Amino acid sequence: MTARLSAATAHLPAPVAVVDLDAFDGNAADLLRRAGGVPVRLASKSVRVRSLVTRGLAAGFTGVMTYSLREALWLVGEGVRDVLVGYPTVDRAALAELAADPVARREITLMADSGAHLELIAAAVEGPGGDDVGVCLDVDSSLRLGAGPLTAHLGVRRSPLREPADVASVAHRAEATPGLRVRGLMFYEAQVAGLQDSSAAVRLVKRLSVREVSRRRALVVAEVSSAVGHRLDLVNAGGTGSLEVSAGAEGVTEVTAGSGLFVPGLFDGYRAFTPRPAAWFGLDVVREPGPGWATAFGGGYIASGPSGRDRLPRVVTPGWELSGTEGAGEVQTPLRRRGGAPLRTGDRAWFRHAKGGELAERFTEVHLVRGDQVVETVPTYRGEGKAFG
């Protein structure tokens, strides 16, 4: 595989980012299959290449979940429709832009989890007329075990909304605010969708989480629907690691996936699907500091999250590994030979990022390959002059 990538990109300078279209398209089809007919919304943060976002939509994904309101405004301006902003925003200028754009008002749904968010949105839409702005409420889907001060919180720290009555109260307030309409609810079970099946304990947490959030989700949906007086347009759940479970849950109308299109390193340990990596980056060897060692230029593309070895890039050149003392470096990355063919000055070493779309923040373009040929070169968000955080 690495020989094929090197042949395809031999005419290109490194560092170089590559996406294999056959693997990308196969992953898209697999994600849709795993969802069992439930619509799959594409998580743009895990891609960050506009042409690949639209390619996923053309393959059958339904709508986009962005990570920024400014990103959503840009994509809608480029023709993308049905955009759910996955995180709350306090960007007043972007909210004013949304309020003044009839198409954006119709196509973008904002995320909220508090009265403070509703006040910001309401202040922006108060003057301009037009369609009501859609609001989706983010519901905490972590698992809590124990009681009182001994409670363990297993999952991410996102929304303060958890119990049905609390969610319904905010929903009622939103629905009663002129210019706003509650479109739906989001339940992201990060401790199910975002954790590798690394141990029996993790698998137990996942089973308990699925059971608890399914029970609570049904209650929340019922109370919110009653509070707003109409049927919800969307109930979003899941991620790449939990598509089957989330798609099959009662009341869920759509699931979200994005990382599964690239299958980065953090997804190697899942049992729900067979990893088929589609995205890599290549670095050129610029020195040989000693027998069994090679040093590549660049490579310090560390993934977000708690620092640890699992956030480092994966070396995919056979028989080579990162140095335990230096890891992936800001300007150079030393590699240690463990039985593979030698790497000489001028050779190309290949890696996978630990996460999906974050690699695109390091490159202005991505080369799309089939076999051993580059068939197209497309800009990343950054290559289009966009950086959303």
Whether 148 and 228 share a structural domain: yes
Helices (H), 198-276: 200-228, 243-247, 259-262
If one counts the domains in the chain, the total is: 2
**Amino acid letter for position 214:** S
Is the CB of residue 38 less than 8 Å from the CB of residue 254? yes
Which three-class secondary structure state does DSSP give residue 272? coil
Planar angle of CA 104, 380, 269, nearest 5 degrees: 100
Whether 122 and 162 share a structural domain: yes
Asked, for residue 26, whether it belongs to a domain, the answer is no
Measured distance CA(356)–CA(353) in Å, rounded = 7
Asked, for residue 69, whether it belongs to a domain, the answer is no
**Amino acid letter for position 126:** E
The pair of structure tokens assigned to 351 is 């890696």
| Residue labelled with tokens 């729900």 | 272
* pLDDT by position in tens, the chain (length 389): 899 999 999 999 999 999 999 999 999 999 999 999 999 999 999 999 999 999 999 999 999 999 999 999 999 999 999 999 999 999 999 999 999 999 999 999 999 999 999 999 999 998 777 889 999 999 988 766 656 666 666 667 788 898 999 999 999 999 999 999 999 999 987 655 555 655 565 666 666 676 777 788 889 999 999 999 999 999 999 888 888 888 888 889 999 999 999 999 988 877 777 779 999 999 999 999 999 999 999 999 999 988 889 999 999 999 999 999 999 999 999 999 999 899 999 999 999 999 999 999 999 999 999 999 999 999 999 999 999 98
pTM of the model: 0.92
The pair of structure tokens assigned to 339 is 């039985």
CB atoms within 10 A of CB 146: 9
Whether 167 and 297 share a structural domain: no
Asked, for residue 45, whether it belongs to a domain, the answer is no
- Domain containing residue 318: 2-12+274-383
Asked, for residue 36, whether it belongs to a domain, the answer is no
| Residue labelled with tokens 């999952």 | 155
